Amino acid sequence: MLTFDRFKITVPASSANLGPGFDSIGIALGRYLILTVEPAEQWVFVPKTADVEGIPTGKDNLMYQVAEDVAKQYEVTLPAAKVYVSSDIPLARGLGSSASAIVAGIELANQLAKLNLSQKDKLRISSLMEGHPDNVSPSIYGGVVIGYHHEDETYINHIPNLQAEVIMIIPRYELKTADARNALPKVIDYRTAVEAGAIGNMLVSALMNRDFEAVGTFMEKDLYHELYRTKLVPELAIARVEAKRLGAYGTVLSGAGPSVLCLAPIGKGKDIAKHLAIKLSHCEVDVVGIDTKGVYVDA
């Protein structure tokens, strides 16, 4: 049986889509899921902070199931561990908590079985598990990641440093991603698909060119999902109008919601957040850093 010394895994949160980058684009955020792992007789997960209070403590925990799945794929046996779990990523709010848990589970197996997985391996395994790379890829690489996942291959392009500020508006209610996906139509017509693709292309080229005015314009033109989800998240329309008035580049639904993300010029985030907190007083409003490191391990 493998033995190991205590170690720590840190995984950033993420915000998927950035509007028209549905299931494809994501940005890593400076909120973190942190696992402290030590040898034990049997598996146990110990929640240490309020945001993870309700997570399963045994083998029904998502992180354990992911780690076991990876171990099976690589035909290794994992030693049992006691895992202390701290997090300031609220669950089911569109901040990629489940993707962070998947990336943490992969890293858990990687460390416990000394698999030496590369970033590309982690991307592939996690995208196959999630079905899309928009949350898992920024949690692995940090920064902004643009991806395309297919059962045969997963491709990404990475923008490591985006010079902008992010304001998150986080409602107190939960919205399960599965429920927000059920609100989407099964098909969209050909013309709309072409238009939605062109808008996504414009967003990506604007991101690559650091043309933030254009980023703001195209972020807000999504045709894939926001239209169908706004009825579930009334905060989006209010935040969009207010944030623009206060000088933000653009405002989008964060992942499947209910959180809302505003992208703003450097130095403006705090002021915009202060005003939005008054307008949307039932929500937590926070200026959140853009994580540039992705998942990492230390002692």
Ligand X SMILES: Nc1ncnc2c1ncn2[C@@H]1O[C@H](COP(=O)(O)OP(=O)(O)O)[C@@H](O)[C@H]1O
Q: What is the crossing angle of helices 62-73 and 119-130, to 10°?
A: 120
**Which of 10, 70, 93, 222 lies at the binding interface for ligand X (CB under 6 A)?**
93
Characterize the bridge pairing of strands 44-47 and 81-87.
Answer: parallel
Q: How far apart are CA 268 and CA 251, in angstroms?
A: 14
127 part of the interface to ligand X, by CB under 6 A? no
Q: Which is nearer to ligand LJ64HWYM, 97 or 111 (CB)?
A: 97
Contact call for residue 18 and ligand X (CB under 6 A): no
Query: In one letter, which amino acid is 245?
Result: R
181 binds, among ligand LJ64HWYM, ligand X, none (CB under 5 to 8 A by kind): ligand LJ64HWYM
Contacting residue, 10, 15, 24, 61, with ligand X by CB under 6 A: 61
Cβ neighbours around 263 below 10 Å, total: 25
Burial profile 42-68: b = 16 or more Cβ within 10 angstroms, e = fewer: ebbbebeeebbeebeeeeebbbbbbbb
- Rounded CA separation 226/193 (Å): 14
Closer to ligand LJ64HWYM at the Cβ: 6 or 172? Answer: 172
Residue of 12, 96, 142, 200 that binds ligand X (CB under 6 A): 96
Contact pattern from residue 95 through residue 134 relative to ligand LJ64HWYM, giving x for each residue in contact according to CB under 6 A and a dash for the rest? xx-x---------------------------------x-x
Q: Omega of the bond prior to 265 within 30 degrees of 0, cis?
A: no
Stretch that binds ligand LJ64HWYM, among 40-48, 165-173, 177-185, 213-221 (CB under 6 A): 177-185
Residue 135 interacting with ligand LJ64HWYM (CB under 6 A): yes
Give SS3 for 29: strand
Binding stretches for ligand X (CB under 6 A): 33, 52, 55, 61-63, 85, 91-99, 101, 176-177, 255
